[in-house]
Structure 1
Amino acid sequence: MASGTRLLDKIAIITGSSDGIGRAIALRYAAEGAYVVCADLMPESRAKTKDGEELKPTHEVLDEKYPAASGRSFSRRSIFIKTDVSIDADVKALVSACVKEYGRLDIMVNNAGIGPNYNHDPALRLHETPEYSWDRIMGVNGKGVWLGCTAQMLAQEPPSTGDRGWIVNTASVMGLVGIQCGSAYSASKGAVVNLTRAVALEYGANRIHVNAIAPGFVQTPLLEDLAPHDSEDPNVQGIRASFTAKQPFEYRFARVEEVASVAVFLASAEASFVTGHTLPVDGGYLAQ
């Protein structure tokens, strides 16, 4: 894992941090010097090691690998706060816990998201999609990001650089193009893309940077829910093959670390004049 000082002493909240992209971002942020508040429904990861063992919770890994710097008032590199991002009170409590522990909030990564689970619900066209499925996906992916964008930064004094904060939202290539039998997911991620633009315009004068990442198909627990890699079902194997065929760079799934690298850039001084954009990390998917 790369390490450095690009986010030295920055305070970050990362939602959806227990698994997948969120976990990778948390690990990379800590490696770059940030203090990280991990937020999710539970601290435990659903993923396992190659030997089938459970992974340690993200915040515990960060504390072990990147202890808090000596001489600082912070005793921990990371803490965990249970959070349902679709509930306003939970998000406010999350931000309050961050400020209580670390004094401020510099980077808000609105990463938590869900998609259709075809193990439980069949692939449905719009007129077949139940209302509860639409509400569930829009509540987390859309409202959750909206609530996260309201957090803290205007209420605190900016650091010496004058930049009040950085917001990084996780969208998807499916928010930039349509997807069959996934209308709620596509609509929710499209909402993230345009919300990112709007918030960037509203708060540019306050020097709050607002950008999004649009991953393509990434090897994550969310992908495993959709199409398990070890499935012997020819239909599932066909789904996985169709996904990688759409990503011409090596025709493979992205690695979570590749997405995390972009999240570092968008929260760093290197992106000082970048705001309102959605950056695809898709192996060429959208170039076709």
Structure 2
Amino acid sequence: MPGRLQDKVAIVTGSSSGLGRAIALAYAAEGAKVICADLAPTARKDIVIEQEQGTPTHEEVIELGGNAVFVQTDVGNSEDVENVVKAAIYEYGRLDIMVNNAEIAAGGADGLKLIHELLNEGWDKMMRINSTGVFYGCRAAIKQTMKQDLHPIGSRGWIINTASVAGLVGFIGAGAAYSASKGSVVQLTKSIALEYAQHKIHSNCLCPGVVNTALTKQLTEHPEMHDRIVGMHPWGRLGEPQDVARAAVFLASEDAGWITGVPLPVDGGYLAQ
């Protein structure tokens, strides 16, 4: 049986580890051709977990029988982002799905400090990657998909941005810069949905709770903190990258044909409290 994303062309930023790697692999398993975009084919050793070490994401896709290429990309550089879209067109002739997933975690760039402790550099770096980088990706994808014929299922393109539950509710001491950056992603996603619905371009975002990735290790590696964070999620466990990847597949599929402008929580019930 063909996959739900059969022959669609997808760009996934931040694809070398964590959520991006899981989404890229899930898309390929559903039949998509994947452009893996990141600073390097494999993430730095300090930001990967054991199961991610070794084979670069695009090589694993190929080993599993899928179709993928890697394009070096700094999402905070608008030229890089434009170039990764050009690479999709060069390799596969079109772009269907843009997943703006690359991010700096809440603990990066002084993200866990209180507002009065934040340095300009920490705020600026967080916004450059988590907010401006998403804008660059959305803009580049929209410019391309607007040129294309409708996909046979009646849509022209799918934008999926990675936000966070921290973009929907406030957190004490969990990173004001991070929350602000993710809140901007939620509102950007909604605005794009309204502006481009007439062009049949979907725009949705994922809002994960705390997911078991290398970027959350500093929050979860201590048993007491781990148990506290698990207790914040009614489902009784941390999320796994595959939990978010499955939602990303849904939002890019025909199953979500009448869904746009939605910040989708994937949070084990966190926001239901």
The answer for the alignment partner of 2:269 in structure 1 is: 284
Contact kept, 8 Å, 2:220 with 2:229, in 1: the verdict is: no
Contact kept, 8 Å, 2:9 with 2:32, in 1: the verdict is: yes
Q: CA RMSD in A?
A: 1.7
Deviation at 1:122, TM superposition (A): 8.3
Residue aligned with 1:262, SS: helix
Give the residue type in structure 2 aligned to 1:201: L
The answer for the alignment partner of 2:230 in structure 1 is: 244
- Matches of 1:105 and 1:30 in 2, distance apart? 15
- Matches of 1:277 and 1:268 in 2, distance apart? 15
Contact kept, 8 Å, 1:169 with 1:192, in 2: the verdict is: yes
Rg larger in structure:
1
- Matches of 2:112 and 2:104 in 1, distance apart? 15
The within-5 A match list for 1:32-111 is 32-45=30-43, 46=45, 47-49=48-50, 54-67=53-66, 77-111=67-101
The within-5 A match list for 1:108-119 is 108-117=98-107
Contact kept, 8 Å, 1:4 with 1:31, in 2: the verdict is: no
The answer for the alignment partner of 1:149 in structure 2 is: 138
- Matches of 2:19 and 2:110 in 1, distance apart? 24
How many residue pairs get aligned? The number is 266
Higher helix residue share: 2
- Matches of 1:135 and 1:260 in 2, distance apart? 28
* Unpaired stretches in structure 2, ≥5 consecutive residues: none
- Matches of 2:111 and 2:191 in 1, distance apart? 34
Cα deviations across residues 84-117 of structure 1 (Å, max 9, x unaligned)? 1111100001100111000000000011111243
The within-5 A match list for 1:101-250 is 101-117=91-107, 121=110, 123-150=112-139, 151=141, 152-181=144-173, 182-224=175-217, 226-227=218-219, 229=221, 236-249=222-235
Cα deviations across residues 189-212 of structure 1 (Å, max 9, x unaligned)? 000111110000000000001101
- Matches of 1:270 and 1:211 in 2, distance apart? 14
The answer for the alignment partner of 1:74 in structure 2 is: none
TM-score by length of 1: 0.88
Deviation at 1:4, TM superposition (A): 5.5
- Given the superposition, is the C-alpha separation of residues 178 and 88 from structure 1 closer, same or farther in structure 2, using an over 3 Å criterion? same
- Matches of 2:227 and 2:68 in 1, distance apart? 38
Residue aligned with 1:227, SS: helix
- Matches of 1:109 and 1:26 in 2, distance apart? 9
Residue aligned with 1:81, SS: strand
Structure 1 segments, 4+ long, off by >3 Å, are 120-123
